[in-house]
Amino acid sequence: MRCRVFERILIANRGEIARRIIKTCARLGIGTVAIYSQADARSPHVEEADDAAFIGPPVATESYLNREKIIEAAISFGCRAVHPGYGFLSENAEFARMVEQSGLAFIGPSPEAIALLGDKIASRELALKAGVPVVPGTQEPIAGVDEAIVVAEQIGFPMLLKPAAGGGGRGMRVVREKDELASALEAARDETRKGFADDRIFIERYVERPRHIEIQIMADTFGNVVYLGERECSVQRRYQKVIEETPSPAVDEPLRRHMGETACELARAAGYAGAGTVEFILDPAGNFYFLEMNTRLQVEHPVTEEVTGLDLVELQIRVAAGEPLALRQADVSLNGWAIEARICAEDPSRGSFPTTGIVTRFAMPRGTGVRVDSGIRAGSLVTIYYDSLLAKVIAHGETRIDAIRRLSKALNGCHIEGFATTVDFANAVVNHPAFVAGDLSTHFLEEHFQDGESKIPPREEDLRLLSIAVVLVYHTRQSLVRESLREASPRVGAGEEARVHHYVVNVDAHVFEVEMEADFSGGVWYGTVGEFSYKVVTPKFEYYRRRLKLNINGTSHTFRLQYEENHIRAFYCGIVRTFEVYTPREWALAHHMIRERVEVLENFLKCPMPGLVTAVSVAPGDYVRRGQELLRIESMKMETAIASFRDGEIDRVLVQPKQAVDTDEILLTFKGS
Residues involved in catalysis: 292
Nearest to 339 by CA among 300, 388, 373, 297: 300
CA distances from 363 to 284, 359, 371, 547 (A): 40, 11, 13, 10
Check residue 645 and report its DSSP letter.
S
Buried b (16+ CB within 10 A) or exposed e, 205-238: bbbeebbbbbbbbbbbbeebbbbbbbbbbbbbbe
Q: φ and ψ at 164, to 5 degrees? A: -75, -30
- CA 237, CA 447: separation in Å to the nearest integer? 11
444 phi-psi bin (left φ>0, alpha ψ -120 to 50, beta other): alpha
Contact 579, 466 (CB under 8 A): yes
The HSE-up count of residue 409 (CA atoms within 13 Å, CB side) is 21
3-state secondary structure of 355: coil
Q: Cβ neighbours of residue 149 under 8 Å, at least 6 residues apart?
A: 178, 181
Instruction: Find out whether 553 and 369 touch, Cβ atoms under 8 Å.
Output: no
Residue 517, Cβ neighbours under 10 Å: how many? 13
Inter-residue contact 526 to 533 (CB < 8 Å): yes
CA dihedral 334, 339, 345, 348 (to 10 degrees): 140
Spatial separation of the C-alpha atoms in residues 324 and 317, rounded to whole Å = 11
List phi, psi (to 5°) of 519.
-110, 95
The CA distance from 318 to 312, in Å, is 10
Q: Do 266 and 113 form a contact (C-beta atoms < 8 A)?
A: no
The number of angstroms, rounded, from the C-alpha of 485 to the middle of its chain's C-alpha atoms is 47
